[in-house]
Structure 1
């Protein structure tokens, strides 16, 4: 009887471990080996967290708030949410592609979809945290230019109006990229010399991150988590 009691206690303890879900696009997503060295920041965030929380990265290449919902990728997360879990919500890169109706959203649709994620997370007594999209590396004649139009502002205003924690990744990554400058910032992104097994012709990609870039951006997410002063902060490594 004593063994059975301890077995039940162990199972209960395992169930109590919260999960940190990441929903978003290719900038955060787990990558297949054939895409290396392209790396999503969600692949690196675990290195900043203790083993008291489980990371479940559901971000997927090419998805917007619209396609993430329409393909039932959000429902798969919502069905699993437990009280005390956390959801990092970072979209925008594909929502802004309004010339592609399967992914593009208006600012109004974008806001409505974010509200859906938030409300359905809260309904499960889990904790939503909004993130603005990370910056692309976009320099013209040495001058940095934002490519995200009004989408990050929607996230900021929504966080403010609903009193939600916000990690402003747009501003954090802009500071990082501009601080490095036009040439040096290439190391953060998927720039590959010709002859690589996965990129025989080479690659110059100003959207997707390199391993170094993913680590740096994940560090900024961890910094942002600390600044939210939410319960998630207790799972950050000291």
Structure 2
């Protein structure tokens, strides 16, 4: 009789299961379109590094997948002509974010294989923005990162001409979020100073690395340290941008 009563009580008052853990937001993809300063590298190019290679670690685990489609030598024109823009676009899903950073090669008039006149550069960027929005995704424009070129006063020279202003103007006209990487990296280099900022770039003595037996003094492409610092600086700018993507960053230490 006692056992029957207990069973009746348990059926009448079942034990509630523990509350399910709340799942975080579903992961989105952050696609990167750009040039060598952003791009992943071949082993034959190491220790050259693109700052996009250090972007994944800026986000909380499980919230973002970084798809780095940036490539060495690319301008907006060649990224389109080689089918790389369409390939990126085909993988974009609603809610994704597309970072767009071109300019280094577009403005290289001495390199006709990649040079893009300013008017075409503007049109290509506008196309990128429209294409991303048509996919229900968020474009995020970036100005080009600074080259390590100092004047006698210790200020970083602007080596990109009118191209960064074209990005700023498009962002303002079409209400596209912008992170001004040119100005941020100029500040980063100036804070370090002309000599110490070498550590951020591909500077190697002869015999120091098997990939560069004669050494190299490259003031455009980043060392691993420089790429990491630029990725961290991008994350710092994103954190204060008010963009939804900022909520997916790792918590600050």
How does the TM-score come out when normalised to structure 2?
0.86
1:129 alignment partner, one of 140, 150, 162: 140
CA deviations on 1:135-164 (whole Å, 9 max, x unpaired) are 000024454311010100001111111111
Q: In structure 2, the residue corresponding to 1:228 is in which secondary structure?
A: coil
Partner of 2:55: 45
Deviation at 1:107, TM superposition (A): 1.5
Written as runs of structure 1 = structure 2, the 5 A alignment for 1:193-204 is 193-195=205-207, 196-204=209-217
CA deviations on 1:69-122 (whole Å, 9 max, x unpaired) are 110100001111100000000000000012333311121111100011100000
CA distance in 2, matches of 1:42, 1:95: 19
Q: Does 1:36 align with 2:46?
A: yes
Q: Does 1:184 align with 2:169?
A: no
Partner of 2:234: 221
CA deviations on 1:166-218 (whole Å, 9 max, x unpaired) are 00000000001111111111011001121111111111000000011000000
2:27 alignment partner, one of 14, 17, 21: 17
CA distance in 2, matches of 1:153, 1:168: 10
Q: Does 1:103 align with 2:78?
A: no
Runs of 4+ in 1 over 6 A off after TM superposition: none
CA distance in 1, matches of 2:87, 2:240: 29
CA distance in 1, matches of 2:237, 2:116: 26
CA distance in 1, matches of 2:64, 2:211: 33
CA deviations on 1:4-35 (whole Å, 9 max, x unpaired) are xxxxxxxxx9xx53100010000000011121
Is the 1:66–1:102 Cα contact (8 Å) retained in structure 2? no
Q: Which structure has the greater CA radius of gyration? A: 2
CA distance in 1, matches of 2:198, 2:158: 16
Is the 1:19–1:54 Cα contact (8 Å) retained in structure 2? yes
Written as runs of structure 1 = structure 2, the 5 A alignment for 1:170-181 is 170-181=182-193
How does the TM-score come out when normalised to structure 1?
0.91
CA distance in 1, matches of 2:142, 2:239: 14
Written as runs of structure 1 = structure 2, the 5 A alignment for 1:69-218 is 69-141=80-152, 143=154, 144-195=156-207, 196-218=209-231
CA distance in 1, matches of 2:192, 2:78: 34
Partner of 2:4: none
CA distance in 1, matches of 2:139, 2:110: 29
Q: Which segments of 5 or more consecutive residues in structure 2 lack a partner in the other structure?
A: 1-22
Partner of 1:7: none
